[in-house]
Amino acid sequence: MLPERLVTFRNDSAFVELLNELSEPAETLITTGLSDGLNVEIASGLIESTQVVQRPPKEIE
Amino acid sequence: MPNGNGKIINMQNVHKVYDTGKVKVEALKGVNLKIQHGTFAAIIGPSGSGKSTLMNILGCLDVSTDGVYEFEGERVDGLHHNRLAEIRNEKVGFVFQNFNLLPYASALENVEMPLIFKGVHTKKRRERAAELLERVGLGHRLTHQAIELSGGEMQRVSIARALANNPSLILADEPTGNLDSKSGGEIIELFEELWQAGHTILIITHDVNIPKRTERVIRIKDGLLTEEANGNGNGNGGH
Amino acid sequence: MASMTFITQIFRDMRNQKLRTLLTIFGIVWGTAAVILLLSFGEGIQLNQQKAVRGLGEYIVIMWPGRTSKSFEGLPRNRRIRFKAQDAELLKSVPHMKAVSPEYSFWNARARVGRRDKLVSITGCWPIFSEIRNVIPKEGSRFINQEDIKKRRRVIFLGTDLAEELFPDIDPVGDYIQINNVPFLIVGVMKRKEQDSSYNGRDTRRTFIPSTTFKTMFGREYINNIVFQADAPERMPTVISGVYEAMGRKHKFDPADKQALSLWDTSEMETFFNTFFMAFRIFLGVIGAFTLIVGGIGISNIMNVVVEERTKEIGTKMALGAKKRFVRSQFIFETMFLTVIGGFVGFAFSYTVINLFPYLHLEEYVGTPTISVSVSVAAVSVLGVIGLVAGYFPARRASNLNPVEALRL
């Protein structure tokens, strides 16, 4: 289970951001299962307990 | 030895005209003057005789309007102001009636002044200034401010300052004018010592005691020079 | 070389003339502080206002349907144009279009939480609406996403003020709210923002649901308006004419018929705003610079007095062999030195004021002033020029003194 706010849905696919070898956020394709709108089941693409990147809210400048 | 065939000063028919716009005043009317190295001379004359004008031109503070002036063989009239400043700095040592010391600077700093303008390094400058103050008998007052010194002491500082760059000519304008007779006498003695050590000294003065001691006495009147041989001298220049 | 001697002499003069030195430096301190503070506050105010302007979105267009004013291909004029969600879909392919979203609106929906009851306005939109309109979810929140659209989920995103009023003291995310007696899951709350212009009300008082859910729930065929954003501010005109082309083809009107669509281009607002603030900051900068120039004139006058006082000393130095350029540089150096001290103190003073300013809690009105690089560069260059000019004229006078006359005094 993962908070749905960390998942990006685009063109019928789902992505999360993980840190790559250079410690930069990079998108990874995942497949999702059931969701209650707040939390979503991860069917594949993500191992349990992997740290998913959580970006701070954008600042208006 | 510099050029000039042993002559420091060679003036021929030097004129100085002050043009105020309305009137022209001719302060020097054709002065001829030769001064050899090692001379000790007094220039005397009443006020308004052209004494100060002569001193200013001799010291390269001012330039003549006509005639030829050579300082150690170098034609001075018409030189750039920077070169004149160099000549004043390296070849002329001024001693003024009012001493003209920087009042809040120490004796040492005052003596260092000409060395600064020459670009001498700080450490060497300090050493040289201390050595000169020692020589004029002020070795114990190096760090005193000028205003803390007596008149005689101030004049010694200014003599040390005049000697800083080992000039060819020491030019003194009424050096005893602001001193009591005792200090004045001591200053004259100091000049004598310097002369004996080989310096060329020219003193412009009212002081009757000075011409008695110099080897040459040059009189100036109405912008013209006359000269009399002195008892202890071997004068050879002028008219 | 001789700079140490310069400095010792300057310090000596400063000690001997304490009051005069203080007043001289004060002029520069005041001028420097004026330049820095005015420019910093100007910048702070501009940034603050810019945030408020951008609360609506950055370089966006809000487009409503209009009526045709020209007949086209046999169709009469004064024909009403109406938008559907497909129109937004169509506009995605306009060249240089960055983002588009349809916007459905419903006013006076009844929102109920427990016993609290409120009339709210509901917006149906796409996920991208969040980016176009700067409706930003706060920490732990999310906006509508693509899954919500696809599955027509009954999820809702609340404006900041509305969330606080309906759920005082608790985080509403995960709670339910009844909209016209239909329960909606709250998935996010908007991060607080300033917004100085709006349509359909302030975003802090609005609610947002998926466009598909909206359509189903309210049975609406037509959308109220479309919002879009170009990929760069300067591309906006191209994008707008592309929009007229595409919409004209679809709805059969002349792309030159401006009345067919009603556009609010906020980039015009931003351009006006930038021009206005440019002028405002130049105005402040000029005021500051004039204050500093007055300080510079003060320092120049003082230096003239100093030259007067030191005439004899200058004459002596010239007699001892100081060249004109030495005398000149001494006075320029001294002026620069005083200017630098004054400038430094002025900087320190401004820095302190600007750092203490946030404690007054006035950010909402005048923003947060900051000493930016451009402000510093401006202040330092004005200061440098003033020091140089203020020093140059007295220095030139000093170096042009005739040593004979200077000594005679």
- For residue range C363-408, list pLDDT tens digits in order: 777 788 888 888 888 888 888 898 889 999 999 999 999 998 898 8
pLDDT reading at B239 higher than 50: no
Tens digits of residue pLDDT in C151-164: 999 999 999 999 99
pLDDT digits (tens, 9 = 90+) for B184-221: 999 999 999 999 999 999 999 888 888 989 999 999 99
Closest CA to C32 of C356, C360, C299: C299
Check pLDDT > 80 for residue C8.
no
Sheet containing B66-71: order of strands:
B24-36, B7-19, B66-71, B74-75
End-to-end CA distance of chain C: 30
Give the pLDDT band (50/70/90) at residue A51.
confident
Contact assignment for C407 to B61 by CB distance below 8 Å: yes
Contact present, C83 and C65 (Cβ < 8 Å): yes
Per-domain boundaries in chain A = 2-44
Say whether pLDDT at C409 is over 90: no
CB contact under 8 A, C326 and B117: yes
Q: Do B96 and C321 touch (CB under 8 A)?
A: no
Contact between chains at A9 and C138 (C-beta distance less than 8 A): no
Cα C317–Cα C320–Cα C326 angle in degrees, nearest 5:
50
- Return the H-helix or E-strand segment holding C38: helix C18-53
Contacts of A9 in chain C (CB under 8 A): 127, 145-147, 150
Runs of H (alpha helix) within C141-231 = 146-151, 160-166, 211-218
Q: For C100-117, how does the pLDDT look when each residue is reduced to its tens digit (9 = 90+)?
A: 999 999 999 999 998 888
Please determine, looking at this structure, whether the domain spanning B7-229 carries the CATH number 3.40.50.300: yes
Q: What H or E segment, with its residue span, contains residue B52?
A: helix B51-58
pLDDT exceeds cutoff 70 at C1? no
What is the residue-wise DSSP string for C271-292? HHHHHHHHHHHHHHHHHHHHHH
A-interface mutation test, from C54, C147, C194, C213, most A Cβ less than 10 A away: C147
Mean pLDDT of C231-253: 94
Indicate contact of B with A: 3+ CB pairs under 8 A: no
Q: Which chain C residues are Cβ-neighbours of B124 within 8 angstroms?
A: none
Flag whether residue C136 sits within 8 Å of chain A, measured between CB atoms.
Answer: yes
| pLDDT surpasses 90 at A15 | yes
Instruction: Quote the percentage of chain B above a pLDDT of 70.
Output: 93
- Token pair, residue C390, equals 């203020």
Nearest CB to B61; choose among C9, C313, C319: C319
pLDDT of res. B237: 42
What are the residue boundaries of the structural domains of chain B, listed by start?
7-229
The enclosing H or E element of C398 equals helix C373-399
Q: What's the pLDDT score for residue C316?
A: 93
- Write the CA distances from C377 to C44, C73, C284, C349, integer angstroms: 17, 61, 16, 17
Q: How far apart are CA B50 and CA B16, in angstroms?
A: 9
Asked whether residue B235 carries a pLDDT value surpassing 70, the answer given is: no
How far off is chain C from A10, nearest CA to CA, in Å?
A: 7
Q: CA nearest B156: which of B182, B191, B126, B125?
A: B191
Q: Are C28 and C346 in contact (CB under 8 A)?
A: yes
Checking if the pLDDT of B4 tops 70, the result is: no
Helices (runs of H) and strands (runs of E) counted in chain B: 7, 10
C1 class by beta-carbon count within 10 Å (0-12 exposed, 13-18 middle, 19+ buried): exposed
Separation between Cα atoms, residue B57 and residue B68, nearest integer Å: 11
Alpha helices in C310-366 (DSSP H): 311-319, 324-356, 363-366
Query: Which of B34, B29, B30, B28 lies closest to B56 in space, CA to CA?
Result: B28
